[in-house]
Chains A and B, each alone.
Chain A
Amino acid sequence: MDLFVYDFMIRALVGALVIGLAAPALGIYLVQRRLSLIGDGIGHVALTGVGVGLLLHHSPVISAVIVSAAGAVGIELIRQRGRTSGDLALALLFYGGIAGGVVLVGLSDDSSNANLMQYLFGSLITTSPQDLVVITILGVAVLLAMTAFRPALFAVCNDEEYARVSGLPVRTLNLLMAVTTAVTVTIAMRTVGLLLVSALMVVPVAAAQQVTRGFRSTMGLAMVIGLGAAGAGVAVSAEIDTAPGATTVILALGAFVLISLGGGLVRTLRRRAHQPREVEPPDVVLQS
């Protein structure tokens, strides 16, 4: 663990921990809505934002936030219409996003493949102090919004019509979710990369819900798993020299497998303990 004497490693660790905590806090609402893949789609759109930033010599993070937020709001408006063509509209938007991004990055001065890979799969150890400030501020904002509005967001994601009849500002809450998703995608771009962002939002939630009974406990456990996977991901990747983003995701998937197996085992043992084995009576008359 002497790796953490370097400043860049500490920055990498802090950035990863912030995202490990914030991504599942948002992801749980996406999973509840059965929109688990939406983060992936917004990640595709964010790449266009990165391309715009590189082309205009601005910070790619800021332009990615703006473009992906616009994309997320667009997706939300399509979803509100609730038409079947929405599925196709999403596909067009996603592929437009990634193709646009690749073309724009290619047109920019810094058009190396390494640069593109850095955004697609993350590049944690190049996190600058300024990046870390942006990641921390936005991450904490996402975390606060997702926990402070939990009852209202739960109500909207659980039963949108009921929430409307309750007089909740459903449209505003949905737009808040859309913008927060875009922000989370963009700050996680540094850690796990745009192609693996969605995994950090969804996998910890999937792992937690194997053993939890309620929404609040699922959210808490998912955040713990996200935090653990992100921290361990940075440490392990530094030791064995692998990509931190992919390592984090593999660790989160490992947690999912372990928790599923463990949960299944506990349930089976409990069932065995509670139910005495019943011996069926024979179908024939036994003669002595």
Chain B
Amino acid sequence: MQLMSVVDVRRLAVGYDGREILHDVSMSVRGGEVVAILGANGSGKSTLIRTILGLVPTTRGEIDLFGTPQRKFRDWARVGYVPQRLGAGSGVPATVGEVVASGRLARRGIFRPSGSADKKAVREALTAVGLLDRIGDPVATLSGGQQQRTLIARALAGHPDLLVLDEPTAGVDAASQEAFAAALGKFAAGGGTILLVAHELGPLRPLIERAIVVHEGHIAHEGVPPEPAGHHADPGHDHLHPHAAPEKDKICVAPTDRITAV
């Protein structure tokens, strides 16, 4: 069971509005593995996991989840998704407990009311991320890092086998990052599989068994997590990036073929 492939991506291509973002990507994650997808902003790393989760349609290629083609996959309770931030819909206050309880719906279904097993799972998940004392507080009053921990608790509450996280540590304070790493470590120690996207690994680094580096829509490296390079290696580096460099001059190359044709 441990050797079964949990995520299997073969020759995947994805594009929006006619522009291809991922070209011919193949990768797989085995049961119990902790894999990080790394890459610069705009490399296509978030698109890759969003496509694996079915949020972005594929252009070409195949994705299997737990050995089932993604299109036919129905057992979504086995997958716990942790998005980058809390959804935009927050016009009405909601407590931490209410948000985490959403994580039980995949297990319970929409017709069955919440029972004692659901309440227990919510409390356990909040304990795992160290936020049980905030269960009755509105999520809007939490710090960014605590909100992120609420989202991981929501995913853990459904007792998934695979946890998929999109940039979990982006903009998260140090205390929350460590609470985060501890919760993920416990999940992995219990045999869980983790696939996460990150810009930098930070305190999650000791957990990562394998890294996949995405660059310009291709897989550029796969194996041991690469050491941070240059000023990224400084402990005090705060990762403020200017906008990506403009594309090389390909767009403005003179159409020499037409010039000669005239």
Contacts and interface: CB of A to CB of B under 8 A. Distances in A.
Interface of A: 28, 31-34, 36, 149, 151-152, 154-155, 157-169, 173, 205, 209, 212-216, 218
Given A152-B110, A158-B90, 9 more contacts: A31-B91, A31-B92, A33-B89, A151-B102, A152-B105, A160-B89, A161-B83, A212-B93, A215-B95
A36 B91 CA distance: 10
B106 A167 contact: yes
Interface stretch (B74-82, B210-218, B221-229): B74-82
Interface in B32-88: 53-55, 74-77, 79, 81, 83, 86-88
Contacts of B99: 158
A213 B53 contact: no
B94 A215 contact: yes
A168 B92 contact: no
A84 B154 CA distance: 31
A173 B109 CA distance: 13
A48 to B, nearest CB: 29
Contacts of B90: 32, 158
B101 interface: yes
Contacts of B105: 151-152, 155, 163, 166, 168
Given A214-B94, A215-B93, A164 B54 contact: yes
Interface of B: 53-55, 74-77, 79, 81, 83, 86-95, 97-99, 101-106, 110, 113-114, 136-138, 154, 158
The interface residues of chain A, by DSSP majority, are classed as helix
A159 B93 contact: no
Given A149-B110, A151-B105, A158-B89, A215 B76 contact: no
A166 B87 CA distance: 14
A216 B83 contact: no
A217 B64 CA distance: 41
A212 B91 CA distance: 13
A143 B14 CA distance: 42
Contacts of A157: 89
Contacts of A161: 55, 81, 83, 87
B203 to A, nearest CB: 25
A218 B93 contact: yes
Contacts of B104: 151
A198 to B, nearest CB: 14
A285 B26 CA distance: 71
Contact of A155 (B79, B81, B91, B102): B102
A28 B79 contact: no
18 contacts: A28-B92, A151-B101, A154-B98, A155-B102, A158-B87, A159-B102, A161-B83, A162-B81, A162-B87, A163-B102, A164-B54, A165-B79, A166-B158, A167-B74, A168-B105, A173-B110, A214-B98, A214-B138
A173 B101 CA distance: 18
Nearest to A149: B110
Find the residue from A163, A169, A173 having the highest chain B CB count within 10 A: A163
B71 to A, nearest CB: 13
B76 to A, nearest CB: 3
A271 to B, nearest CB: 14
Nearest to A164: B55
Contacts of A213: 93, 95, 136-138
A163 B94 CA distance: 16
Given A158-B102, A159-B102, A161-B83, A214 B95 contact: yes
Contact of B98 (A31, A173, A216): A216
A209 B110 CA distance: 26
A85 to B, nearest CB: 14
A168 B94 contact: no
Contacts of A209: 92-93
B114 A151 contact: yes
Contacts of B75: 167
Contacts of B113: 151
A152 B110 CA distance: 6
Contacts of A28: 92
Nearest to A34: B91
For the complex of A and B, the 4 pairs showing the least CB-CB separation, nearest first, are A167-B76, A159-B87, A214-B95, A152-B110
Given A161-B83, A166-B106, A168-B106, A34 B95 contact: no
A213 to B, nearest CB: 5
B113 to A, nearest CB: 8
Contacts of A154: 94, 98, 102
